[in-house]
Every structure is written in structure tokens, then in C-alpha cells.
Chain A
Amino acid sequence: GAGVSQSPSNKVTEKGKDVELRCDPISGHTALYWYRQSLGQGLEFLIYFQGNSAPDKSGLPSDRFSAERTGGSVSTLTIQRTQQEDSAVYLCASRLAPGNEQYFGPGTRLTVT
């Protein structure tokens, strides 16, 4: 079956511009996560959505970062006024239920010039 998909796969933007990254989770998965993978570093949690509950935004690095999940499915991560330190691979994962495996998408590579 279809896995987690993300778009675009690559995004190059100029410093100061806003960007939107999209995640399509596996159908029926109730939980959705965003992580960031910076060059040479591990994965860093950003935000978590579970059903209709308020999202856990505790990992967002600044107020320039926001995310929403519409209809309990597709999610969009928005970065406003991008900075060079925002350059990273942004990974989305979804999970069917508590205690189950998180399935990752291929990521969006963001480059801020």
C-alpha cells in the first residue's frame, strides 16, 4: 500500500521567504509527526498531531514555525521568514495507534540561500 508521501522533495528558497511543506500520511493513521534532520545530526522532534486533540508544539524551534493538519489527514508545515539555519531535511511520520511503529516519509530537503 501507499506509504507516507511528502512534497516537494526538494525546495530551494531565498532567505526571508515563506515556505510550505506538505505531508500525506498513511490512510487511517491517527497520529502525525514532523521531525527535522540537520546535516550530520540526528532527528529532532518538531510537532505532533493526534486525532482531534490539540497538537504538541513543544519541539518547534521558534514562532516562525507552524503546522496544521486538515481533516485529520494532510498536514502542512509552514516556515515564515526562512533563515539559513532552517536548511535541513524535514521528515513526516505517521502512526496508526499508540504503541505502533512510526512510518516515515522520504522527507523534504529545504535549502535556504
Chain B
Amino acid sequence: QQQVKQSPQSLIVQKGGISIINCAYENTAFDYFPWYQQFPGKGPALLIAIRPDVSEKKEGRFTISFNKSAKQFSLHIMDSQPGDSATYFCAASDGTSGSRLTFGEGTQLTVNP
């Protein structure tokens, strides 16, 4: 059972544009929602994370929007740059399972110069 669904699978954006990636989850026990960025040949690196007590979190050009009632959260990358080209994974965890992460399928982002 896929507990975290991510879309789109791939995304192409022009430099300076806004990249938007969406995720939906099923398990209402999830209480931590991170986004990871992965470059080829590297392990995932935490980009930004949110807990369900807030609806939005912004760090630089990266913003998470969280909708608890809809069980959805999204990543917005403002002023996208070619260096942002990578695979992005949303994830979720709950404190009762050792904080193990359940990942979405990933989105391959390409930012054209």
C-alpha cells in the first residue's frame, strides 16, 4: 500500500519560474513531513520539513504548504535555478514507528537555463 503519493513524476521549468510538487498521504498518524533533494550518485539531503501544527513553512526560495484536512502537502521552489535540477522526494513519519520515513515516488525536476 502506497501511503504517500507524489506528483508529478517529472517536471520541466524555465529558469526563474516556480516549481510545484504535490504529495498526499493516507496515514493520519504521520506528524513529520520532510522534503529531500537528491542529486545523481548522492544520498538524499533534507531540504525543508514541516509538522502539522503549521500550514506553511518558508526557507529561502523553498516553501512547504500543508493542508491537514485534505492530507496534502506541497513544495514550492520560487525563482527556480538550473542548480535546482534534481530528484525531489516527499516523505512522512510518525513518532510511534521510530520515525522511519515513508517516501513518495519522487519527482525529477529539470530547470532549463
Please determine whether A104 and B45 come into contact, CB atoms closer than 8 angstroms: yes
| Interface size in chain A (residues, C-beta < 8 A) | 25
The contact sample of 12 A-B pairs, CB cut-off 8 A, is A31-B99, A42-B105, A43-B91, A44-B103, A95-B99, A99-B32, A101-B34, A104-B36, A104-B44, A106-B42, A106-B43, A107-B43
Please determine whether B44 and A48 come into contact, CB atoms closer than 8 angstroms: no
Say whether B78 faces chain A, with CB atoms less than 8 Å apart.
no
**Chain B interface size range:** 20 to 34
Say whether B97 faces chain A, with CB atoms less than 8 Å apart.
yes
Q: Cβ of A45: which chain B residues have Cβ within 8 Å of it?
A: 100-102
A contact face: mostly helix, strand, loop, or mixed: strand
Question: For chain B residues 70-96, which have a beta carbon within 8 Å of chain A?
Answer: 89, 91, 95
B49 CB, nearest partner CB in chain A, Å: 7
Tell me which of B45, B49, B91, B101 has the highest count of chain A C-beta atoms within 10 A of its own C-beta. B101
Q: Cβ of A106: which chain B residues have Cβ within 8 Å of it?
A: 41-43
Tell me which of A33, A44, A101, A106 has the highest count of chain B C-beta atoms within 10 A of its own C-beta. A101
Q: Cβ of B36: which chain A residues have Cβ within 8 Å of it?
A: 104
Question: How far does the alpha carbon of A50 sit from the alpha carbon of B97 in the complex, in Å?
Answer: 11
Please determine whether A43 and B101 come into contact, CB atoms closer than 8 angstroms: yes
